[in-house]
Chain A
């Protein structure tokens, strides 16, 4: 757990010329990687070039923040989050993030904001991140493939009623015919969840839930069929 380190924050802000996030009193534990990683060079990959500064702002000029809205894999955000949220460490969002509940959510030392999550949204984000980093569900399958929130949710922070449209899933997994090919039942060709009597435009999220157990919708009626789905409850 990071400890408050006001001087480090102040130093980082001075160094990077960025405004302080919110009142100093409520300042997060620190933008300083060095609070936990005294020797950054040991944490960075061996061939990584020398880094000036010790905060997120030192990274983002080269590493996109993962909020590009593109469905990219192995993004910087993915790698950083996987190593800084449970179960890797008992991480604190505010170690890196500049958070003013209900107003803004960005990175310490940087002026942009990705949204204005309220305390309840922040709680949810933390829960979903924990699930993403370690669960039996589809979110963790994506984490393992180095796909983070933005990979599915696009730009901006997802909210409690966010859903993911088929186009987004199909950008990586499509086209639908390819999926239908993967789940083709040779013996009973009609028994194909990706080409069923419910139509090809059925929402992927009908069965595939990201932050909860996925369920085979077919089985609601076709109770005798034995079908499996990735990300199902264990």
Chain B
């Protein structure tokens, strides 16, 4: 640590201590927006509830953390600010990337090899090497175990296939039987329930209590709003932040990434507003890479919803799905990462909305699709079905000649094993777009995931601005930053949340 850092720290510390001496119990804090000046909030003199471990947020990471903490014997509470549990996780697309040594769908379908090391390298490359390697390694190494945990202990069910998703070099993406993240939130909820945990809803954290910025000064607890009551909760062992990202907070996201104004739709639930990031920063936590915010390239164009059908374009590339503009032209290598596919669309201009994914019947099951889901999608107009490409073009209002020409070329590229236009790697598992019936689904990017967030170490501890772990403060899931660099590969969110949720929960026991 440099002298400059040391002196800054001692200044911050002495300011905090000075305030303590004056008031006899002032919390380390910056101004509460609109209500107070710096250093005027007093630490609670009494606590309304006392716990060993307080977990904030009931998505994948929070449920996993609470299950581990409570399972290890800690008196644990799981707080959720929304009136329903599960946050973004319960409406997530249900895709789970894991090298696997148990279910063997990859082997059964003869889809080649994979390993945790390969998964790790994909994460690093997919994020342009902005990832912190040891954090990414935890995800790759722990993914299979996390998958086995939700399946074996939680009763989650998988569809009998794996897909190769954009940016991944292996067929390792598992699909939930129900087609959505609820498959795993329900599994985790069951696991947590066995340890006596039930999410406490409508409980919004409004402050994190810490006395000063001394590296030995532990986080003490949190202030929450429950109904009209304000309560102070003491955490004897740990506070675990698993509050998710800030995609729904237009002001915050555009402050870090000015392009992402309200003009963009968002796939997230309403609660993904990022205030916990700020409370953590106010007690000294460091953040990183807050400007790296992902757009989901295939959201429902009008509302930004990521429904079960909007997962098909994501799952399709490994089996030969085609993306075209509304002029019927390809615009990107379909096997590209989400950021590339999203910005390839945005760069076409606003008038280009929507673009289309086109696939055929033969691709549906391999790419993790489900006939019932397809039928439902057709019924409500999400999918468009036709017996021929000509008919499909007509139904989608795409110029027929252009689409027929694009599809013919695309078929030829697959036969040749080479894509001279966009350099898509052609694999033997890809199905040529020759036989109908054909399907189309419209798509457009919507703000989806925050790669940046709170700085943590491989033990899930939150790191302060000077580089020291903040005692008794942990974080897991989308609230953390630095695991996925500039771009998270699709289907890496669930393993990340569960792996780091478990790490935080287990380490909280020792805190």
Which residues of chain A have a CB within 8 Å of any CB of chain B? Answer: 160-163, 187-188, 190, 197-199, 202-203, 205-206, 217, 220-224
Contact = CB atoms under 8 A, between A and B. Distances in A.
Contacts of B380: 188
A62 to B, nearest CB: 37
A206 B84 contact: yes
A198 B88 CA distance: 11
A188 B269 contact: no
Given A197-B91, A203-B201, A221-B91, A187 B83 contact: no
A198 B226 contact: no
Interface in B272-329: 302-303, 305
B227 A190 contact: no
A202 B84 contact: yes
Contacts of B202: 163, 203
Nearest to A203: B83
A220 B269 contact: yes
A221 B201 contact: no
Nearest to A198: B84
A223 B376 contact: no
Residue in A199, A202, A221 whose Cβ sees the most chain B Cβ within 10 Å = A221
Residue in A162, A188, A198, A220 whose Cβ sees the most chain B Cβ within 10 Å = A198
Contacts of A197: 90-91, 180, 182
B270 interface: yes
Contact of A217 (B84, B201, B227, B229): B84
B228 interface: yes
| Shortest beta-carbon contacts, A-B, top 3 | A161-B227, A206-B83, A161-B229
B126 interface: no
A220 B273 CA distance: 14
B376 A221 contact: no
Contacts of A220: 269-270
8 contacts: A161-B228, A198-B84, A199-B182, A202-B84, A203-B84, A221-B269, A223-B303, A224-B302
A187 B269 CA distance: 25
B121 to A, nearest CB: 35
Contacts of B84: 198-199, 202-203, 206, 217
Given A198-B90, A203-B84, A220-B269, A161 B182 contact: no
A197 B176 CA distance: 14
Nearest to A223: B303
A188 B377 CA distance: 10
B482 interface: no
Interface residues of B, number: 23
Contacts of A161: 226-229
Contacts of A222: 303, 305
B94 to A, nearest CB: 11
Per DSSP, chain A at the interface is loop
Contacts of B226: 161
B302 A187 contact: no
A163 B376 contact: no
Contacts of B376: 188, 190
Nearest to A225: B303
A224 B226 CA distance: 31
B379 interface: yes
Contact of B86 (A188, A190, A198, A221): A198
Given A199-B85, A202-B84, A221-B269, 5 more contacts: A160-B228, A197-B91, A203-B201, A221-B303, A222-B305
Nearest to A191: B380
A217 to B, nearest CB: 7
A60 B186 CA distance: 49
A119 to B, nearest CB: 16
Interface string B224-245: 0011110000000000000000
Contacts of B86: 198
A187 B379 contact: yes
A202 B180 CA distance: 17
A186 to B, nearest CB: 12
A163 B83 CA distance: 12
B308 to A, nearest CB: 9
Interface in B209-260: 226-229
A163 B202 CA distance: 11
Contacts of A205: 83
Given A197-B180, A220-B270, A160 B303 contact: no
Contact of A224 (B83, B85, B228, B303): B303
Contacts of B180: 197
A113 to B, nearest CB: 22
Interface string B131-142: 000000000000
A160 B91 contact: no
Contacts of B201: 203
Contacts of A223: 303
A67 B186 CA distance: 38
A25 to B, nearest CB: 33
Interface in B374-399: 376, 379-380
Nearest to A189: B376
Contacts of B182: 197, 199
Interface in B194-208: 201-202
A218 B303 CA distance: 13
A223 B302 CA distance: 9
B83 A217 contact: yes
Contact of A221 (B83, B186, B305, B379): B305
B10 to A, nearest CB: 43
A199 B84 CA distance: 9
A83 B385 CA distance: 62
Nearest to B231: A161
B379 A188 contact: yes
A160 B227 CA distance: 8
Contact of A163 (B91, B227, B302, B303): B227
A187 B381 CA distance: 12
A199 B189 CA distance: 12
